[in-house]
Amino acid sequence: MAFKILLTDYEFEHLQFEEDVFQESGLEIDFIKAQCKTEEEVIEQAKDADAILNQYAPISRRVIESLENTKIISRYGVGVNTIDLNAAKEKGITVANVPDYGMEEVSNHALALLLSSARKVTLLNKEVKKGNWDFNVCVPIHRFNEQTVGVLGFGRIPRRFIEKVKPLGFKTAAYDPFVSATDMAAVGVQKMELDEIIREADYLSVHVPLIDETYHLINEDRLKQMKKNAIIINTARGPIIDETALIEALEKRTIAGAALDVTENEPVSNDSPLLRMDNVIITPHSAWYSEEAMVELRQKAARNIIQVLSGEKTPYALT
């Protein structure tokens, strides 16, 4: 009897990478492709699925409680905020992600946003193209070795980001309640508490997952604590920053700028003030992307499923 694998939704041009993994497994697979948008659509499609491959469709408690045979839910990506982990754990369903596929890409993108902000490349480019050949539009710019780059979170991506930042001369600090000061010091990074790093960082790069505890972690009060010259970089998830408070802080120049690959609502609204600000850089949730990362993501998400259906454990299991 074939295993039913439901792909809840996808935005890829083809599914050859996933299909190759399934075919090479030797298992008999019935691969069902859907484009679910709502809980109801997922429930209808997934009720008797042995495994679920998920991109954006909601896998809520209600969905999970309706599942009859599901052994694993594998998500394309690092974040699993589309899936109710507690409900899955209660039901004995493995949830897996692909936490390492975009480590180089996201850390590189955060670095690109940092450098563009620090040297005001985007602003200068815009001014020159307007006919304004004048370096004074970027005043002030400071030497890297006089500034501190702080990271929120110290997992794979922020560690790699810091490895790339340090040779440029920046001082480095990190906040992560799950990593000791000794472990950070071993790689030349100063451990700080949250409020301390908020106050001390000239560039604050966000790398924490979006969970209940990190929703609006950067809020009005914390933005007010930041340096007036500070720039916040976010390549994690938009709702970690209270966007209304961020816009107000940027408008009032409470902080100097923002470099965002993610926003609270995506795509960003055409009437968002963020799009009209010269001190803001926005990219369209593209930090994860390279051709190589795309292939790795899709193959590993599919392999999570094959491992569990074969009676093995996937190294990327979260429940």
Check if 62 is active-site: no
Average pLDDT over residues 210-231: 97
Please give the average per-residue pLDDT across 272-277, as a whole number: 98
Q: Choose, from 65, 146, 251, 266, the residue flagged as catalytic.
A: 266
Active-site position among 62, 156, 216, 285: 285
- Mean pLDDT of all residues belonging to the chain: 97
Residue 81 has pLDDT above 90, yes or no: no
Mean pLDDT computed over 204-209: 96
pLDDT digits (tens, 9 = 90+) for 283-295: 999 999 999 999 9
What is the dihedral angle through the alpha carbons of 68, 89, 6, 39, rounded to the nearest 10 degrees?
80
pTM of the model: 0.90
The Cα-based distances of 46 to 4, 6, 43, 74 in angstroms read 9, 6, 5, 13
Q: How confident is the model at residue 12 (pLDDT cuts 50, 70, 90)?
A: very high
Where residue 79 falls among pLDDT bands split at 50, 70, 90? Answer: confident
* pLDDT-derived band at 145, boundaries 50, 70, 90: very high
Residue 84 confidence class, pLDDT cut points 50, 70, 90: very high
Mean pLDDT of 133-157: 97
CA–CA separation, 239 and 205 (whole Å)? 14
Among this protein's residues, is 266 annotated catalytic?
A: yes
CATH architecture of 103-282: 3-Layer(aba) Sandwich (3.40)
Edge-to-edge strands, sheet with 3-7:
29-33, 3-7, 51-54, 72-75, 94-96
Model confidence at 1: pLDDT above 80 = no
Query: pLDDT value at position 155?
Result: 95
| CATH class as words, domain 3-101+291-309 | alpha beta
Which backbone phi and psi does 152 adopt, to 5 degrees? -95, 115
Does 28 participate in catalysis according to the annotation? no
Is 3-101+291-309's fold the same as 103-282's?
yes
Domain boundaries, the chain: 3-101+291-309, 103-282
Catalytic residue among 237, 264, 298, 303: 237
